[in-house]
Amino acid sequence: MSALFSAFGVDWHLLLIQAVNFVLLLAALTYFLYRPILRIIDERREKVAEGVRLAQEANKRLEDAKAQGEGMVADASKEAEGLVAAARSRASEVTAESTKAAEAKASAILKEAQAHAEEAKRLAMQESSKEIARAAMLAAEKILKEHA
């Protein structure tokens, strides 16, 4: 084998020393460069994975908040519809009560006016009866004076 190495001009002592140097350089680079770079890459991978997980949680919370907001809006809408319906019903009741009260008041005023009209008619009839009686008495007196 040494003949083969010498035929190509290779010194096996130098080759062995270069192999040892390569192994030492490989060990040093692995220890000082490769492992720290792998650790940094793993840390970054974990940070990215954590960021993705947090983003997914934030999206889920956002969707939950949207659903809750839509539920609140729907509940508020239903409640508002109920309040509007109750207000309309109460307004109808108040209107009906007001109408009944106005009709009752108008009826009372009409009855009172009719009673006043009847009283005025009765008084007018009494007055006219008295006037007729007085006119008849004056006429009778005048006739009696003329004939006497």
pLDDT, residue 10, reads: 77
The whole-number pLDDT of residue 1 equals: 67
pLDDT number for residue 147: 79
Residues in the chain where the model's pLDDT stays below 50: none
The whole domain housing 17 covers 2-147
What local confidence, expressed as pLDDT, does residue 96 receive? Answer: 94
pLDDT at res. 15: 84
Q: What is the pLDDT of residue 68?
A: 94
**Is the full-model pTM beyond 0.75?**
no
Number of domains in the chain: 1
Nearest CA-CA partner of 68 in 79, 60, 80: 60
Question: Rounded to whole angstroms, how far apart are CA atoms 21 and 30?
Answer: 14
Q: How many other CB atoms sit within 10 Å of the CB of residue 5? A: 13
